[in-house]
Structure 1
Amino acid sequence: MAKQVYFATLTMIAIAIVIYLLHEKIQSVWKEVHKEATTLQPIDERRKRLMVSAYSGLPEQLDFCGEEVPVSLVEVKEKLDFELMVNAYMHANTLLILHKAQKCFPTIEPILKEAGIPEDFKYLAVIESSLDNTVSPSGASGFWQLTKEVALQHGLVVNEEVDERLHLAKSTQAVCQHLKNAYQKLGSWTLVAVDFGIGNGEIEQAIAIQKVNNYYHLLLSKEANRFVFKILALKEIIQNPQKYRFELKNSKDTVQMRIIKVGKTIPDLLAFAKEQGVSYKTLKNYNEWLLADRLTVKDTTRKWEICLPLQ
């Protein structure tokens, strides 16, 4: 019995010693953590401004294509607030868009104007592709993310050698036709923008069921509910970059271009590039719509325009 008590006492002492040592270790670690926390460098002032105030107050008045945005509605304020915060905090991505806009908008704007489409639709291209010639998993392609079906409907050429969805000017012209047709049906440029971006007939179906043709009063899917506010946020930031802490300088790297009109087949684009005094890489970079190493011309009445930098 005495031995049992003896061993039990030793065990309790050992446990007490272990607990004491663990306690001391924890205290030591805590002190180090506390010390590091109190000596951390202050947050960069620029990032701090972005986190605390990503926007300098919501605009009191806002419109899309001349159609008023009801910014007095709480729901509208919250959604616009969210999209402004997202795009202001994603600083690098938004800054890249601002730089691309300087290059792409001068091509898009006059085409929209000539077609009678409101200029605000240039921001639709920003939302669709971030002004990149990208291809989506569903097969939509180019700055406007056109499907092959829509592209062919509006006269664009899409085959193994050529994809005019990747041609900024021609794809913009096709989009203008599509937008005009949609406006005839929907009667609102705001609804046209959402219909273009979301597709699948959601807008027409929602209007038919809910008997409402005002975007801000329609119950839509989550993606459709965000769509216009994404456009509005990028429009606001692109128009007022300094307000949202973006420092943007006007690009002086504008490249003077020459246009070569082609009315017959080019069997070898590598040889063609050499004849023009440029590399094959340069030819492809400035004409992304050329997919293959040849250009077959079946309709000799049509002139293909190849853009190259002036030497």
Structure 2
Amino acid sequence: MKINVLFASCILALTSFSAIAQQHQALQINDTIPVPVLPETPTFYNHNFGYKARLDSIQKMVPLSYNEHVQKYIDIYSGRKDMMGKMLGLSDYYFPVFEKALKYYNIPEEIKYLPVIESSMNAHAVSRVGATGLWQFMFATAKDYGLNMDNFVDERKDPIQASYAAAAYFRDAYEELGDWLLAIAAYNCGMGNVKKAMLKADSQDFWEIRGYLPMETRNYVPAFIAAIYVMNYPGQHQIRVQKSPFVKNTDTIHVNRFVSLPQLAGALSIDEDALCSLNPSYKKKIVNGTELEPKRIIIPKVNMAQFAQIYEVLNNAELDVNPNVVLASNDDRRRKKKVVERPLAAVSYHKVRPGQTLSAIADQYHVEVQDLKVWNGLKGSSIVPGQKLKVHNPQPSKKRKMAIKG
């Protein structure tokens, strides 16, 4: 089977590849660490005007209030020097991914800090109630926002896919609530709980409705603000940036056949765990690409000397694996898991109208420009009126229903 392979260079500021396996294993945790719950204090005695000035200086779209609640979490996170040093290293790899997705939906860049408190930026993090991935999506919310979970893949663990889903959630939450701190609170406890608190407090200000929210959410927003502070001012708290476990430069390839990540790692002469850490959503270490649904693989940037070996794995290597895909019906580990046969991927064709751009068409169907290029064999971004473009799994531009997270 002939394969279309597209290399799109992605510059992600990272470090050596040799430490990936160790770091990857260290990040494999069974549960996420919840935001610590702190007791309420009636009076605030240790007001630090220096902290307030620093928060004011980095404030953009999201209000970065300074008060006793934020101060408590600054004390906590500034004291976790090893953890925050790791977060700073990981941010070199993940923040460009988050920023691109947030920009696509016109979401404030500051939201990129949320995975610091959600998952410690661990793509394999799973909470006690089943929230999964960097952005800690619950199963129902993930499905509502277009993420796929089946026997081969869990897209909640895909940094790219999950980031776009999170950005879409925040778009909807802000449209509904009109305030970024309330949208952040809703991401933690659900839209319904935030609206109830707003009614009880007769207010649209987070700090006024805070006492009517679930305890975890009361602390969630202050912890988020504190994390932003510490990530921006590590030097003031003797926090040293630790080396990222990921490579500095990567390429993206799209494959339309099944590919073994261990075999590909061998062709690339890198550790198997290192390649899997760049592609955390594939459960079986197998990329199940098809003609209808090409799949993305992130690899270290290659040279021409490696290309022949890579080409052999991508085009000619055979895998003894059942290709049938089954969708997960839920991931609540307290219930028996059910699977249903997955229908064939939906494909439609878009006829280019005068004045349309590839970016506008991608936005219309909630897909990436790069994917449109791959599906249609386009080398550049030029399109002409009347041209028909193939679109896989088209999603109409309509507001999706939100589910309560956590």
TM-score normalised according to structure 1 size: 0.72
User: 1:99 matched to which residue of 2?
Assistant: 89
Residue 13 of structure 1 is matched in structure 2 by none
Match of 2:252 in 1: 259
**What CA distance in whole angstroms lies between the structure 1 residues aligned with 2:194 and 2:243?**
39
AA aligned opposite 2:283: L
Q: Percent identity?
A: 23
Report the Cα distance in structure 2 between the residues aligned to 1:253 and 1:303, rounded to whole angstroms. 24
Question: Alpha-carbon deviation of 1:147?
Answer: 1.1
1:169-188 matched pairs, under 5 angstroms: 169-188=160-179
C-alpha spacing 1:293/1:102, structure 2 compared with 1 (3 Å): closer
Partners of 1:248 and 1:279 lie apart in 2 by 24
Residue 284 of structure 2 corresponds to residue 292 of structure 1? yes
Gaps of 5+ in 2: 1-45, 303-406
3-state DSSP of counterpart to 1:307: strand
Q: After the TM superposition, which residues 180-199 of structure 1 pair with which residues of structure 2 at under 5 Å, given as runs? A: 180-199=171-190
Greater helix proportion? 1
Distance of aligned partners of 1:158 and 1:253 in 2 relative to their CA distance in 1, 3 Å threshold: closer
Q: Given the superposition, is the C-alpha separation of residues 150 and 80 from structure 1 closer, same or farther in structure 2, using an over 3 Å criterion?
A: same
Task: Report the CA distance between 1:249 and its aligned residue.
Answer: 7.4
Query: 1:302 aligns to what SS in structure 2?
Result: coil
Q: How many residues matched?
A: 251
Could you say if the C-alpha distance between residues 252 and 153 of structure 1 is closer, same or farther in structure 2, counting changes exceeding 3 Å?
Answer: closer
2:226 matched to which residue of 1?
233
Q: Which amino acid is the alignment partner of residue 261 of structure 1?
A: H
Match of 1:15 in 2: none
Query: 2:162 corresponds to which letter in structure 1?
Result: S
Residue 192 of structure 1 aligns to a residue in which SS? helix
- Partner residue of 1:137? 128
Contact 2:86 2:244 (C-alpha < 8 Å) held by counterparts: no
CA apart distance, 1:79: 1.0
Q: C-alpha separation between the residues in 2 aligned to 1:294 and 1:248?
A: 33
Task: Tell me by how many angstroms 1:102 deviates.
Answer: 2.1
Equivalent residue letter for 2:180: W
The separation in 1 between residues aligned to 2:79 and 2:286, in whole angstroms, is 44
1:205 correspondence with 2:196: yes
Counterpart of 1:160 in structure 2 is: 151
For 1:210-221, list aligned pairs within 5 A: 210-218=201-209, 219=211, 220-221=213-214
Tell me, yes or no, if the aligned pair for 1:164 and 1:170 is still in contact at 8 Å.
yes
Distance verdict in 2 for CA 1:301–1:215, change over 3 Å: same
- Any conservation in 1 of the 2:251–2:301 contact (CA below 8 Å)? yes
Which residue of the partner structure matches residue 310 of structure 1?
301
Matched AA of 1:144: W
CA distance in structure 2 between the aligned counterparts of 1:124 and 1:309, rounded to whole angstroms: 27
For 1:41, the equivalent position in structure 2 comes to: none
Query: The residue matched to 1:162 in structure 2 has which SS?
Result: coil
Displacement, 1:177?
1.0
User: 1:251 and 1:293 mapped to 2: Cα distance?
Assistant: 22
SS of 2:52 mapped into structure 1: coil
How far apart are residue 198 of structure 1 and its match? 2.6
- Kindly state the Cα deviation for residue 251 of structure 1 after the two structures are TM-superposed: 6.5
Report the Cα offset of residue 272 of structure 1. 4.8
State whether residues 197 and 227 of structure 1, in contact with CA within 8 Å, keep that contact through their aligned partners in structure 2.
Answer: yes
In the alignment, does 2:118 pair up with 1:125? no
* Match 2:273 to one of 272, 281, 288: 281
Give CA deviations for 1:67-112 in whole Å, capped at 9, x if unaligned.
44454xxxxx211211111111122222222222222112211221
Deviation of the 1:248 alpha carbon: 3.4
RMSD across aligned C-alpha pairs, in angstroms?
2.7
Select the structure of larger CA radius of gyration: 1
Taking structure 2 as the reference length, what is the TM-score of the superposition? 0.56
Aligned to 2:61: 66
Which fold has the larger relative contact order, with Cα–Cα distance below 8 Å and residues 6 or more apart in sequence?
A: 2
Q: Distance in 1 between matches of 2:207 and 2:255?
A: 48
Aligned partners of 1:123 and 1:235 also within 8 Å: yes
